[in-house]
Structure 1
């Protein structure tokens, strides 16, 4: 049975002794989560190749490079896919298709596939923004929330005083959502009836078994959600588990909604033995009388894939932060064991937005273009999402984001070339990993010498602090492109973040000092961890050995 223990070692895996010793020595007894469960099928299986019935959009009248609008033909192909039994591939030929409406995927086992994201590949061109074409009611709760709470972007120096756009962090032209599913909770009077299956009586952080009050309706293979709900106010056990000795920093949203889950963990049940459930994941927190939790139903889509496409938006005017018109690429909600692979997104307001999902993999993604963007790849209300081989080549306000209630998510081998920030966006996001991330950025002058504001957390005050315990940076490489000579020390700043962060192997092309608040556990400063280049891959290798025994 897999179990996390101090130092990130396992009590049932004997890996290479030098690697085990190195990780244990590096952590010096400090707890390190096991991040290897992130991704499709919890990381233990490769992304699948699309199989099943192939529906070509050209057969419904969409033809590349003819300068005509292909929207109705593509939507007809998607409708045919919804009505076809079994797995379906919706296929685009090479060339440019013009799309002027939302393409919705509303059932499982659909892959939207092109012929590649580069030259001689498939481009989907979206000439108009969502605020001109989205006529659905899917974001009505968000719209009402914005106006009820008078959420405005106010910049007197620019004569700006406008309501936030609902498309600033929601919606997309490829829109994956189970009909009727709620992407995120905004208004309390819209909260659905509880879906609790049973209470959990015992569970241990890092282990993969729980004891429940009644397992009668739970079956092997079910996808369920473990929910920690705070009904005990600011002193609740789950807040102390989230923030440790800094739990007094928690904002009011941590206890203002006593019937909403504060922490969610969507996972698959591997087996049921009496009242014992074996899970395909390791628990985020202890479960006991002090930290209660429950098993709730989860209903969404599985096996949805988007691959080998170039999504292109025009070089349209940008009106400012939170005023985006909705040039958003992919909107992934209510999904499990799904993926985006080999996709390029140009001139988007946000490239990929993710909500209420788990076990997603985004692989080989490029965002580029000249327009200022809000998000590159966004993670909110999600669990176990793996982003690997991401290249951010456009100006993005929040380039690598862990947003509200994201847990055990991983950016692995990401590289940001313009306006880089590691944005831990408040809202009880915790136990997330930046793994082998490279940032290209200039230093800025200050009274104390050159500084680089790498960690630039944000989010509303009621969701502070910037992150919960055990958000981790592993082999973070910072390449200073200007503002400091090679013999100067650059201070890496993260002055409003969260407690119990782990920063291991921060290095680059200058000598660095670190100003991270609250204080983090820091080791291997100005030195790459060579024996374990990728923490995710190292932990996955150990777990695969565990599974093989």
Structure 2
């Protein structure tokens, strides 16, 4: 019997649908597909974030392995290992090559800060599970010797009378120097300031080149004199606001949005308001090509310049647990200093496979670039300030962060953070996708899953932004949320959509693919571009990976 031709047409269509790839089965977001939408709605290229711009895997360094046990570090004996660990780290400063300081399995006790001050160095444990390494810190940093590098911060807090005041809780307490700084493991360049707080500590920086122009998203800097700059240099590009409240750079950051701009944008004209670390790819008499694209266009009014940037490279921290004792929560900003890791002045470095228990802040960062922080788990009964926070960073990638503890700011982009990414992260307790003011702009929350208890009113402030009023608004233009999955833990019988809000002063954000197990409405402004709400972006779950693959043509 001959079958009708309609049968074969039907069969062909059916088989096509079965074998059709997900990429074709689901419509692509217009912001990456439709030329007219792309032209009117700028989307940054986030693909340069991470170790070696995402182009290289984190290495398994085994060139020279030094055993900490050889310096007297002994696990599970109930005695403090600080002196022996400090001795081991001090000895490696004089060694050449790529050094791994191998920690033994078992519990180590640490009551002094381990400063890592050299490049090509890995602090490695034996793992985070059974048979792994645990660094136990029985007391907070407030009981340790005051770090010299926080002297300026201490004076700033006193001079400006920084206090946490909560009249309803009878709290009037001075801020702690460890509320957003410091860690029991701490990378630093000796003698270099990490962050500016007081003008009397400012020292003139040597200008290597004045930058007269450059286009947002491009890689070419127009310069007046390249001087001694050469290929391979890693420098800091700085842009200033010398024009006060109506400075051009304010318009460039916030694109004319109707938001209140804080006074720190013009009260410090000699401090850069936009900065990014750049690697020089090529040099000609009046041009420099850099590896990563510019976040904003450089104009003469910005009085931009390139300066030296002192930093460490190829530093790794990996494969152990850091734990602290249970400690009662007192108040925000008065944390005693149960801080795990503090990364400062790093380039092309990493932290991986670390579990952090009962920390005030798990991992804090300041002035680092192209660092990957991956496979991190935070947990415990203490309330934290931060889990893994990004402050003053450029092109930093945090991926596979799982947050099981309560934190004031579980995921947070802080002051001066740019082109950085939280990817494949999950927050299980009171999630907030925080943007913390301070000219932070063009950062990405990418393929994030959060677990939410909606209020009785069906409203949850997922986008609540923190930070001081003098650094408002909460972020600059083009902050991006991509494929955010919200798992609601209750109220699923309610028919009306749940409202996700909390951000009223974040201009021109991009929110694509916010979805969950219940219908959602979004309130985010001003000028937000919103697309595919209540749609799971199965075809492109990660914008970072999509852009990286496109750039590398994978």
Whole-angstrom distance in 2 between the partners of 1:543 and 1:234: 38
Partner of 1:228: 239
Alignment-derived partner of residue 382 in structure 1? 393
**Bigger Cα displacement from structure 2, 243-252 vs 186-195:** 243-252
SS at match of 2:256: helix
Runs of 4+ in structure 1 off by over 4 angstroms are 16-22
Asked whether the 8 Å contact 1:181–1:300 carries over to 2, the reply is no
Select the residue among 520, 524, 527 that pairs with 1:516. Answer: 524
- Residue in structure 1 matched with residue 34 of structure 2 by the alignment: 25
The 8 Å contact of residues 491 and 513 in structure 1, kept in 2 or not, is answered as yes
Partners of 1:157 and 1:452 in 2: CA distance: 24
Aligned partner of 1:215 among 219, 222, 226: 226
Please state if 1:436 is matched with 2:447: yes
Structure 2 counterpart SS, 1:249 = coil
Question: Could you tell me which residue of structure 2 aligns to residue 535 of structure 1?
Answer: 543
**Cα separation, partners in 2 of 1:28 and 1:223, compared to 1, 3 Å:** closer
Report what 2:467 is aligned to.
Answer: 459
Whole-Å separation in 1 of the counterparts to 2:300 and 2:110: 53
CA distance in 2, matches of 1:67, 1:202: 60
Tell me the distance in 2 between the aligned counterparts of 1:120 and 1:485.
Answer: 46
* Cα deviation, residue 516, structure 1: 1.2
Deviates further, 221-230 or 194-203: 194-203
Matched, 1:329 2:340: yes
**Structure 1 match to 2:6:** none
**Equivalent residues of 2:401, 2:426 under 8 A apart:** yes
C-alpha displacement at 1:63, in angstroms? 1.1
What does 1:394-543 correspond to in 2, within 5 Å? 394-446=405-457, 450-485=458-493, 487-543=495-551
Q: Deviations over 1:287-317 (max 9, x none)?
A: 1224442111111111111000100111122
1:51 is displaced (CA, Å) by 3.1
With normalisation by structure 2, the TM-score equals: 0.93
Question: In 2, Cα distance between the equivalents of 1:320 and 1:418?
Answer: 19
Moved more, 503-512 or 474-483: 474-483
Whole-angstrom distance in 2 between the partners of 1:443 and 1:528: 20
**Whole-angstrom distance in 2 between the partners of 1:39 and 1:468:** 21
Rounded Cα–Cα distance in structure 2 between residues aligned with 1:122 and 1:425: 34
C-alpha spacing 1:157/1:248, structure 2 compared with 1 (3 Å): closer
The separation in 1 between residues aligned to 2:88 and 2:259, in whole angstroms, is 53
Q: How many residues align?
A: 528
1:161-180 alignment, distance < 5 Å: 161-180=172-191
Q: Is 2:140 aligned against 1:129? A: yes
The answer to whether the 8 A contact 1:488-1:510 is kept is no
Partner of 1:296: 307
Q: Compute the displacement of 1:19 (Å).
A: 6.3
Matching of residue 241 in structure 1 with residue 252 in structure 2:
yes
Cα shift at 1:21: 7.2
What is the CA–CA distance in structure 1 between the aligned matches of 2:159 and 2:511, rounded to whole Å?
40
Shift, 1:126, TM fit:
0.6
- Asked if structure 2 preserves the Cα contact closer than 8 Å seen for 1:501 and 1:520, the reply is yes
Residue pair 2:402, 2:427 contacting (<8 A) in 1 also: yes
**Deviation for aligned residue 1:52:** 2.7
- Whether contact under 8 Å (1:422, 1:456) holds in the other structure is yes
Partner of 2:5: none
User: Contact between 2:242 and 2:302, CA under 8 Å: does it hold in 1?
Assistant: no
TM-fit CA distance, 1:272: 1.2
Alignment check: 8 A CA contact 2:508 2:525 kept: no
Point out the structure with max Rg over C-alpha: 2
User: Is the counterpart of residue 159 in structure 1 residue 170 in structure 2?
Assistant: yes
Higher mean C-alpha displacement, 19-28 vs 528-537: 19-28
> CA, structure 1 residues 20+434, in 2 after alignment: closer, same or farther (shift >3 Å)?
closer
Shift of 1:66: 1.3
CA drift of 1:375 comes to 0.1
- Cα 1:235/1:100, change in 2 over 3 Å: same
Give the aligned partner of residue 99 of structure 2. Answer: 88
Contact 1:239 1:247 (8 Å CA) reproduced: no
* CA distance in structure 2 between the aligned counterparts of 1:248 and 1:516, rounded to whole angstroms: 13
How far did residue 20 of structure 1 move?
A: 9.4
| 1:70 and 2:81 aligned | yes
TM-score scaled by length of structure 1: 0.93
State the shift of 1:382 in Å.
Answer: 0.9
> How far apart are residue 195 of structure 1 and its match?
2.8
Q: Give the one of 124, 143, 148 matched to 2:159.
A: 148
Distance 1:22 1:202, change over 3 A: closer
Q: SS at the partner of 2:364?
A: strand
- Counterpart of 1:351 in structure 2 is 362
Q: Using the alignment, how far apart are the partners of 2:325 and 2:267 within structure 1?
A: 42
Aligned in 2, Cα 1:486/1:122: closer, same or farther, shift over 3 Å? farther
